[in-house]
A and B are shown apart, each in its own frame.
Chain A
Amino acid sequence: MASTKKVLSSTLSHAIVYTAALITVAPFLWMILTSFKSLGEILKSPPTILPAKFHFDNYVRAFDAAPFGRYYFNSLFVSACVTVGQLITCSMAAFAFARLKFKGRDVIFFLFLATMMVPGQVTMIPSFMILYRLGWINSYKALIVPGLASAFGTFLLRQFFMTIPRELEEAAYIDGCSRFGVLWRVIMPLAKPALAALAVFTFMGVFNDFLWPLIVINSESLRTVPLGLAVFRDRYTSEWDKLMAASVAATVPILLIFFFAQKYFIKGITFSGLKD
């Protein structure tokens, strides 16, 4: 009796959770299916589930209508620069906070943490003006430079560095290693999981960022994928064949990256939740 009940409840929870998962991914499946249909088939009622014929030319036409290759290059380039830059600056700052003794360390660290709660909209306008004065508006610099430091990243790495036993460093110091050498040769290799989590997190954040590129970029050749797609949407409001092909191009690669680097995404998120 008890076991029948258990089987029943297990079946029920499987049914519920799989239905919910299917509903969650349904918009993606629908996007992919639609992206292969002709516009005539898309605007048919009742809708067809599978495309009558696979129209790969939707993709060709979408890529002809806007330089998505270029957008991709821009997004990848900017995300890669910011990610690498942040890994370096955050590791250095985290090392200072975790290992060096200097006056005012705790005050600076606290101030640092406090800035995490300042919403980006507060700094957005003056940041824009600083870049404007520098003549950096509408350039890669505007997309990259403001992202080259991060309180969250510094904090994440600092917490991780604190857990690394000091004995290893002491041995390295005795061997004549400099502080930078210790960070580079001892700490960073040991902190790979935290660095990977930060890298994936930063990369995804920059890749998907929209408001900042929207403000600082106005020429087509510098648009990132989200910005390019938003402009594309304004221009081809109801050409769903092209729009869905463009959306597939904008989402599927990032979904694939996520699929393979999942572990680190999850780690980054859980870490942000356990920061007390």
Chain B
Amino acid sequence: MNLRPNMEKRGKRSDGRSAFFFLLPTLVIFSAFILIPVVFSFFLSFQKWNMFSQTTRYVGFDNYLRALSSADFWAVLKNTFVYTLGTVPLNMLLSLGAAMLISKKIAGKKFLRTAFFAPVVVSPVAAAVIWRWIYEPNFGILNYVLHFFGVPAINWLNDPTAAMFALIVMGVWKTMGVNMVLFSAGLDGIPNQYYEAAEIDGAGPWRRFWRITLPLLAPTTFFILVMSMIGSFQVFDLVYVLTSGGPLGSTKVLVFYIYEEAFKYFDMGYASALAYVLFAIMFVLTLMQVKFMKKRVDFAV
């Protein structure tokens, strides 16, 4: 029974050294590709530098001011917001619906879950190639189906409004499965007795949804909301392959803009400033998340 104190002593003696050994690989990679880059890109955001010249020039807040006074930047930000506002609510509504239907007594649950989740696992590039074919104006299946409903042919990817719409639809399709799985997990966490009690009290399905499901699902919903927003602010692959930011820059989103400034025009300072703007937006979103989670913990106690 005096084994435990021995163990503790053993632990005290050399934990520091072995901890260093266990953390070493992670710390090396992390320093080189996360910590140093985070600091360095902050430094870069105050410099003028095109990667191939040897010297950088300190320009103060010029890069940030340039962004704020550039029509391109505001257009890009607007596109990113439109994409987010278009995808997130629609995505959440549909994925909650799917999760609720699947959580019920339904035949072929596993098959259904697989079907809804399938778009999540394929490469966004491949997905965008498929959707380009669906959206093809002359031979695409979408215009063909729509023509039965009397909708005239739409040039999906060459009309600014239609292109953003097309991107949003595809974005929802691609990411809905993740939210559905999260909502399902949240729904599974609601004790069945609540529903049974409510049913005995004569509450109809609609009332049960508003009074039980929705309030108890609030933490999950909030988490999904924030994660979806973070995800849609960072959309890139889908845009790159589906529209390349066009037509007329109508689908050019923030990350696409950063990519172009950095690796097409090699304006690393400006691109870093833009990346930090994105970081600031993410930071605010994450803070909201943390605040809400804290509140929820208090609530639970």
Q: Which residues of A contact B (CB under 8 A)?
A: 10, 13-14, 16-18, 20-22, 24-25, 27-28, 30-31, 34, 42-47, 88-90, 92-93, 95-96, 100-103, 105, 108, 112, 115, 117-127, 129-130, 132, 145-146, 148-149, 151, 154, 170, 173-174, 179, 183, 204, 207-208, 210-211, 214-215, 225-227, 229-230, 233, 240, 243-244, 246-247, 250-251, 254-255, 257-259, 262, 265-266, 269-270, 273-274, 276
Contacts and interface: CB of A to CB of B under 8 A. Distances in A.
Given A30-B134, A119-B234, A273-B220, A258 B121 contact: yes
A27 B185 contact: no
B40 A126 contact: yes
Interface string B24-38: 011011101111111
Provide the main secondary structure of the chain B interface. helix
Contacts of A100: 11, 15, 18-19, 22
B129 A96 contact: no
B171 interface: no
A158 B98 CA distance: 32
15 contacts: A24-B116, A90-B26, A92-B22, A102-B15, A119-B279, A126-B41, A132-B51, A149-B33, A227-B125, A250-B126, A251-B122, A251-B127, A254-B122, A259-B114, A276-B293
Given A210-B237, A270-B181, A122 B279 contact: yes
Provide the main secondary structure of the chain A interface. helix
A157 to B, nearest CB: 11
A208 B124 contact: yes
A121 B112 contact: no
A247 B90 CA distance: 27
A143 B154 CA distance: 40
B37 A95 contact: no
Nearest to A149: B29
**Nearest 7 interchain pairs by C-beta:** A126-B37, A149-B29, A123-B37, A96-B22, A102-B19, A226-B125, A21-B115
A234 B219 CA distance: 43
Contact of B178 (A42, A207, A269): A269
A115 B23 CA distance: 16
A119 to B, nearest CB: 5
Interface in B253-301: 255, 258-259, 262-263, 268, 271-272, 275-276, 278-279, 282-283, 286, 293, 296-297
A210 B118 contact: no
Contacts, number: 279
A170 B33 contact: no
A204 B121 CA distance: 7
Given A119-B234, A130-B32, A24 B26 contact: no
Contacts of A255: 118, 121-122
B38 A250 contact: no
A250 to B, nearest CB: 4
B41 A117 contact: no
B73 interface: no
A179 B22 CA distance: 10
Contacts of B268: 125, 129
A22 B181 CA distance: 18
A151 B34 CA distance: 10
A35 B179 CA distance: 30
B130 interface: yes
- Which of the listed residues A108, A251, A257 has the most CB atoms from chain B within 10 Å of its own CB? A251
B139 A243 contact: no
A24 B119 contact: yes
A96 to B, nearest CB: 4
Given A47-B144, A122-B41, A170-B7, A25 B118 contact: yes
Contacts of A215: 259, 263
A98 to B, nearest CB: 10
A95 to B, nearest CB: 6
